[in-house]
Amino acid sequence: MCGIVGFAGKRNAKDILLQGLQRLEYRGYDSAGIAIQNGEQTTVIKASGRLQSLMEKAKHEIQGTLGIGHTRWATHGKPTEENAHPHQSADGSVTLVHNGIIENERELRAFLMQNGFSFSSETDTEAAANLLAYHYQKTGSPLKALTEALHMIHGSYALVILFKGCPDVIFTAKKESPLIIGMGAEETFIASDVPAILPYTRRIYDMESGEIAEVGRGSVHFYDKNGDHIEKTPTEITWNIDSAEKDGFDHFMMKEIHEQPKAVRNTLYAYLKNGNIDFSKANLTESTLKSIQKLHIIGCGSAYHVGMTAGYVIEDIARIPVRVEYASEFRYRHPVFGEHELAVMISQSGETADSLSALREAKAHGVPTLAIVNVVGSSIAREADHVLYTHAGPEIAVATTKAYSAQLAVCYLLAVALGHAKGAFCDAKYQVFLDEIQKLPEKIEQILEKKDSLRVLSAHLASLETLFLIGRGVDFSTALEGALKIKEISYIHAEAYAAGELKHGTISLIEKETPVLGVLTQKNLFPKTLSNMREVKSRGAYLIGIATEGFDVENTVDEVFYIPETLRPFAPSLSVIPLQLLGYYIGTMRGLDVDKPRNLAKSVTVE
């Protein structure tokens, strides 16, 4: 997600802001900017691309000992200089930076344009700037303007704001997005993350949702969302820089595993409006969806596993045929297309060479294309006809986790939207689907709360060299993803098979103590998988179950990890979590670099 810095003190602000942004570069971004207040003058400098470009543009002397800065990870609008933060209101009275998603930005834009405000960017942040200016014009008070505006904003935000006429203070407001305030001697530091202020102070205030702060040079006052004064107690940071970048986790992978509830929630927020699925941002209208007769879903690695899962779910819910393919196969297969088909590319990076070539192959056949990607403005996003972004934020670890879960969420919505457009189920069922999908983040949190129970199993598996994973339907595609996580992180030879396939050859590999893990979440299929597990148990296998609570598996398996119940098409969002954790724990127990596994790159931009 975006990075935020702020400074109010006696030293020149420019270098402190730029150095703070440098310490946030690890978060990933695509543009950056700073705003410096010097009396009544506000200087704003922004640049797309790397921080070096901003530093080049800001290399001249800029007077001012108070300012704000931002590194942007694009969610609304392309990664251009116009869309970079800080943003200013149309009347120039408000300058701000923002991290989060304003869900009702279109309604706010309409209201503000009716009240004479113009817009120069595609961002939701500019709506916040103009809304604050609207209330600042009416009240003349930054605090009153904030309390009024925040009651109208829906979504998540960390806002850091300069108001014209108030050259000695910075205002901040928080709802869900992280924001901390560090206290120095006659200096105050603001940041979205600890690393940006650690070199100056370890005494911080952690802002809570609904709080507002008025930051001066070495001072801070806190208010609640109604503008009433509140008291807060500072804390001391004990982390070093390295652990601070990982929010206290040992690795980015574990941090990102724990960011999955937020990644799924933010992604769902982006496409659910007033209780309905809204794909208008991708210009995927109900009539377009209704006209689709067949889908081709294409991806690589984990993205392919999401595609496989989506294929099962879309056929199950929307009752239209889906062909799922590896991009590296699709691009050379001389694919055949019929009328009214859609090619769906799934890719976290949006730069995977095979997937980009597959997209171009589909377009060369005149087939409409939809990209489900995480990086705004990436090649696949730019070249596809329609784009549904995942809102997982930058994913640093090579092994994908939070982007995988966010992609699953988009695919569930796509399946339900297709089925609804085609009248495959009644409105009541539509609501049941959406209600359950929105419960997935909290169910993922429940699983993460009991992660430690996987350590003993991981220790057992870490001493072995092979592991089989089996499942049927979406349990099979999830088993494939689990096998990949374990392979790429722990280097154990893990293989996944359709449970019914074991007896067609692979069972010859089973011997005493061979570990076989069954993914058991499908009420209609798990008894069959269980009987496949009994077949290998009779040949000495050690059985592990990843099973939905309430499934009677304990008489068959040697170990079981339960996941919460959900509607069966959405179970992969839950069953994949323990498999990600197994990969992580086994890899760390084997002393491996789980964030940067050998031979792998985060994005494979070559064939």
As annotated, the active-site residues are: 2, 602
* 352 is a contact residue toward ligand AGP (CB under 6 A): yes
- Applying CB under 6 A, the site for ligand AGP has a residue count of 15
Classify residue 347 by its DSSP letter: E
Tokens representing residue 332 in the block: 């050379």
Cβ distance to ligand AGP smaller for residue 121 or 349: 349
* Candidate residues 37, 71, 80, 302; the one interacting with ligand AGP per rule CB under 6 A: 302
478-517 residues near ligand AGP, rule: CB under 6 A: 488
Chain centroid, CA 485 distance in Å: 18
Cβ distance to ligand AGP smaller for residue 230 or 601: 601
* Candidate residues 88, 267, 347, 369; the one interacting with ligand AGP per rule CB under 6 A: 347
Tell me how far CA of residue 323 lies from CA of 170, 314, 352, 409, 473, in angstroms.
Answer: 54, 11, 20, 19, 14
* 303 is a contact residue toward ligand AGP (CB under 6 A): yes
**Closest among 163, 198, 165, 161 to 182, alpha carbons compared:** 198
* Candidate residues 88, 309, 349, 580; the one interacting with ligand AGP per rule CB under 6 A: 349
* 254 is a contact residue toward ligand AGP (CB under 6 A): no
Tokens representing residue 342 in the block: 């859609």
Q: Is 41 helix (H, G, I), strand (E, B) or coil?
A: strand
Cβ distance to ligand AGP smaller for residue 462 or 604: 604
* 301 is a contact residue toward ligand AGP (CB under 6 A): yes
Cβ distance to ligand AGP smaller for residue 170 or 399: 399
Q: Name 452's Cβ contacts closer than 8 Å, sequence gap at least 6.
A: none
**Which strands sit side by side in the sheet containing 386-389, from one edge to the other?**
322-326, 294-299, 341-347, 369-373, 386-389
Cβ distance to ligand AGP smaller for residue 398 or 444: 398
* Pairing status of strand 31-38 against strand 66-72: antiparallel
Question: Which listed range, 29-37, 94-102, 133-141, 342-350, lies at the site for ligand AGP (CB under 6 A)?
Answer: 342-350
Closest approach, Cβ 383 to ligand AGP, in A, equals 14
Closest approach, Cβ 288 to ligand AGP, in A, equals 25
**What is the rounded CA–CA span in Å between residue 97 and residue 449?**
33
Cβ distance to ligand AGP smaller for residue 4 or 303: 303
Query: Which of left, alpha, beta for 423 (phi over 0: left; psi -120 to 50: alpha)?
Result: left
Closest approach, Cβ 202 to ligand AGP, in A, equals 35
Q: Identify the helix (H) or strand (E) that includes residue 320.
A: none
**What is the rounded CA–CA span in Å between residue 581 and residue 257?**
8
Closest approach, Cβ 398 to ligand AGP, in A, equals 5
Cβ distance to ligand AGP smaller for residue 36 or 310: 310
Closest approach, Cβ 301 to ligand AGP, in A, equals 2
Contact letters for ligand AGP, residues 353-392 (x by CB under 6 A): --x-------------------------------------
Indicate the burial class of 539 (C-beta count within 10 angstroms; 0-12, 13-18, 19 or more).
Answer: middle
Contact letters for ligand AGP, residues 385-424 (x by CB under 6 A): -------------xxx------------------------
* 603 is a contact residue toward ligand AGP (CB under 6 A): yes
* 300 is a contact residue toward ligand AGP (CB under 6 A): yes
Helix axes 142-150, 125-139, angle to 10 degrees: 130
Q: Name 375's Cβ contacts closer than 8 Å, sequence gap at least 6.
A: 348, 349, 350, 351, 381
Residue ranges that bind ligand AGP, judged by CB under 6 A: 300-303, 347-349, 352, 355, 398-400, 488, 603-604
